[in-house]
Amino acid sequence: MSDICIVYDRVRWEEKCLCEKAIKLGHTSKMIDAKTLAISTFDGNTSHNFGDIVLQRCISHYRGLYLTACLEFLGSNVINAYSTAEICGNKLLTSVYLSRHRIPTPVTQFAFGPDVAGEVGDEMGYPLVLKPIVGSWGRMIIPIKDKDVMDSIIEMREEMSNPLNKIYYLQDYVNRPPRDIRTIVVDDRVVTAIYRYSPEGEWRTNISRGGKAELCPITNELEDICMKTSKAVGSGILGIDLMEDKEKGLVVHEVNNTVEFKGASTVSEKDIAAEIVNYASKMAM
Ligand SMILES: Nc1ncnc2c1ncn2[C@@H]1O[C@H](COP(=O)(O)OP(=O)(O)O)[C@@H](O)[C@H]1O
Ligand SMILES: [Mg+2]
């Protein structure tokens, strides 16, 4: 039996569910609000008790990432590891890792200045999709229909203070059905897969934007691509997003580091929380 620590910055359905499941399965479990933590380089491992294993569940990418670095410094086992969190929390790094491991992914280009971003856009052709390299829930993912819109968005982003907005992540608009696929992958295995259908008047399929979940069969092809993706980013507990490209077949477009599974739980026959807790307990040994 393990002592499982869940660190969070806002308690969602998932964090409650994981804590209750851990206790139900005979482990001890506690929740720690990351916003209350201060860690010193002289701490050793004395002033905090993070149990045998930490499930890092912060909504804020940066808080979760740097807290993971500190917890690893203190000698804690953290899921996911810092290196995985760094890759998955950043779409540019994710695309680089996917391509390096020859995992099918949409054609994506990165541009590091406004003029070259415009040139790359013209060369790729419209429509295309512009994404912030750090972000989630479909926020600021923009379908760009033509050059005029592209130029206006570049002008706007150059005025923004966040330096990440000056790095342009441009992706082919994938010709897909009005749905995508989310798989929940634990320890390099697909626990469950769902289709996410975009709601009326919305092109993005995120559940947080009203997308509807439906069970998706786990084919050998889906299992294989997800296993390779998981290994490419360093394994752990992952939410892999894929699209069914009408020309190229399955393509991976994102890997989520702190996966939400409320939507998937409504349609899956699997006990997702139990799979996560069992994996955490195994990694605590
Ligand atoms: N290249 C693309 N072509 C078509 N639809 C896309 C493309 N990229 C993203 N989408 C849609 O937008 C949603 C959000 O994009 P995603 O890259 O997963 O970012 P987020 O981190 O915000 O979830 C996807 O689930 C999909 O429905
Ligand atoms: Mg996504």
For ligand 1, atom 26: residue with the closest CA: 204
Q: How deeply is 30 buried, as exposed, middle or buried, from its count of CB atoms within 10 A (0-12, 13-18, 19+)?
A: middle
Pocket test for ligand 1, best of 141, 144, 198 (most atoms within 8 A of CB): 141
Q: What's the domain range around 17?
A: 3-87
Give me ligand 2 centre to Cα 281, in Å: 27
- DSSP-derived letter for residue 85 is H
CATH of residue 55: 3.40.50.20
Over the stretch 103-135, which tens digit does the pLDDT of each residue have? 999 999 999 999 999 999 999 999 999 999 998
Give the mean pLDDT of the chain.
Answer: 95
d(Cα 71, Cα 50) in Å, to the nearest integer? 8
Q: Which of 136, 153, 172 is where one domain is finished?
A: 172
List the beta bridge partners of residue 196: 180, 213
d(Cα 103, Cα 94) in Å, to the nearest integer? 11
Pocket test for ligand 1, best of 61, 207, 241 (most atoms within 8 A of CB): 241
> Is residue 125 located within the same domain as residue 184?
no
Q: Which of 124, 141, 172 is where one domain is finished?
A: 172
User: Does residue 9 lie within any of the structural domains?
Assistant: yes
d(Cα 230, Cα 106) in Å, to the nearest integer? 17
Tell me the pLDDT band of 43, cut-offs 50, 70 and 90.
Answer: low
The count of structural domains within the chain is 3
User: Does residue 280 lie within any of the structural domains?
Assistant: no
Over the stretch 187-245, which tens digit does the pLDDT of each residue have? 999 999 999 999 999 999 898 899 999 999 999 999 999 999 999 999 999 999 999 99
Residue 267: both structure tokens together: 């349609």
Judge whether 241 and 256 are in contact, CB under 8 Å. yes
So what's the pLDDT on residue 41? 84
> Is residue 153 located within the same domain as residue 209?
no
- DSSP-derived letter for residue 112 is S
d(Cα 65, Cα 59) in Å, to the nearest integer? 10
83 dihedral zone (left: phi>0; alpha: psi -120 to 50; beta): alpha
d(Cα 165, Cα 239) in Å, to the nearest integer? 24
Show the CA angle centred on residue 147, arms to residues 145 and 149, nearest 5°.
Answer: 60
> For residue 45, is pLDDT > 60?
no
Judge whether 48 and 72 are in contact, CB under 8 Å. no
d(Cα 260, Cα 245) in Å, to the nearest integer? 24
